Amino acid sequence: MASLRDIKRRIGSVKSTQKITRAMKMVAAAKLRRSQEAIERARPYAYRMRDLVNRVALRANNEVHPLLRQDNGGKIGLIVVTSDRGLCGGFNSNVINHTMKTLSDEFNDKEVELTVIGRKGIEALRRRRTTIRNTYRNVMDDNPFRVAGELIDEQVAAFLQGEFAGVYCIYNEFKSAISQNLTMERLLPFEPPEQGEVVVDYLYEPSQEGVLTELLSRHLHIQMHRILFESAASEHGARMTAMDSATNNADDVIERLTLAYNRARQSAITTEMIEIVSGAEAL
């Protein structure tokens, strides 16, 4: 049995760990609130933009714009969004596992180049057999809008040159503080619209090509920007949940250790008493 002093020391160490997890939980909760507001503000605009692009794609002919082209053979660009910091439960490992699974299943016969966002993903995916094209760190502390633009422009250029046949993104979509939805989204090429009723094409100003070029690139920027915010909100939610269960778990551990400590103290007293009594008897 562990000595009294050892148990006491362990209780102290668990308690100080608990202080840290509790503080981290509170910080995560505060950050979650802010990033949740941000994503909820960003979504309506991003969704409207997406709907508009779909309506345009339905009306416009696939041939009219290179970004609407469907079949150009080539590599796959995969954007993987993780966090820079750990201690957020399965947040990053889910993304990384799903990425590895996608590489071996869906894109088994394709050459895939990864663009990895977040230190955790970069470290994990570098260790495995993957081709990494580009990496970004500390995106949210930097300027997420600028980074999203840069990243998308680079992928779009590769798509237009025929280097990429498609661009996909794996990220955690924010559902609520306690749940994230791991998603893979196709950014390019655009989904071929289902041919429903024939609708009248728009009158474009200044020109169809001009409008489409601006609309499609703007749309992709906005979506990437939204994805970064989805992931950030999910990360804080995941961390809050993880730190909450760590704090609760520390409570359980402390309770068990306290019990063991009291038992050990009791038996030490008993032994001492027996010693005294039998000593007195011997006299």
Partner 1 sequence: MTVQTDTLKLELSTPDRAPVSLEAREITIPGAKGVFTVLPNHTPYLATLSVGVMIVRGTDGSENFFAINRGFAEVVQNQILILTQTAEREEEVDVERAEKAKERAEERLQKRDADIDHMRAEFALRRAVSRIRAHQRDAY
Q: Residues with catalytic annotation?
A: 88
A 10 A CB-CB count for 208 gives 18
Question: Strands 112-117 and 131-136, how do they pair?
Answer: parallel
At closest approach, how far in Å is the CB of 47 from partner 1?
Answer: 9
- Residue pair 174/81 in contact (Cβ under 8 Å)? The answer is no
Q: Which is nearer to partner 1, 11 or 42 (CB)?
A: 42
Interaction of residue 49 with partner 1, rule CB under 8 A: yes
Kindly indicate which of the ranges 102-110, 211-219, 246-254, 269-277 contains the residues binding partner 1, using the contact rule CB under 8 A.
211-219
Interaction of residue 45 with partner 1, rule CB under 8 A: yes
Q: Which is nearer to partner 1, 41 or 146 (CB)?
A: 41
Any idea which residue has 């991003």 for tokens? 46
Of positions 9, 19, 41, 256, contacts partner 1 by CB under 8 A: 41
Which of 47, 35, 63, 55 has the alpha carbon at shortest distance from 139? Answer: 35
- Residue 194 exposed, middle or buried by CB count within 10 Å (0-12, 13-18, 19+): exposed
Of positions 106, 185, 209, 214, contacts partner 1 by CB under 8 A: 214
Interaction of residue 206 with partner 1, rule CB under 8 A: yes
Interaction of residue 58 with partner 1, rule CB under 8 A: no
Which of 116, 93, 113 has the alpha carbon at shortest distance from 103? Answer: 113
Q: In whole angstroms, what is the distance from residue 54 CA to residue 274 CA?
A: 86
Q: Which is nearer to partner 1, 200 or 283 (CB)?
A: 200
Of positions 19, 218, 256, 263, contacts partner 1 by CB under 8 A: 218
Q: Tokens representing 75?
A: 């590599």
Interaction of residue 204 with partner 1, rule CB under 8 A: yes
Q: Which is nearer to partner 1, 68 or 122 (CB)?
A: 68
At closest approach, how far in Å is the CB of 95 from partner 1?
Answer: 25
At closest approach, how far in Å is the CB of 249 from partner 1?
Answer: 40
- Residue pair 209/64 in contact (Cβ under 8 Å)? The answer is yes
Contact track, partner 1, 163-202, x by CB under 8 A? ------------------------------------xxxx
CA gyration radius for the chain? Answer: 28
Q: In whole angstroms, what is the distance from residue 94 CA to residue 73 CA?
A: 29
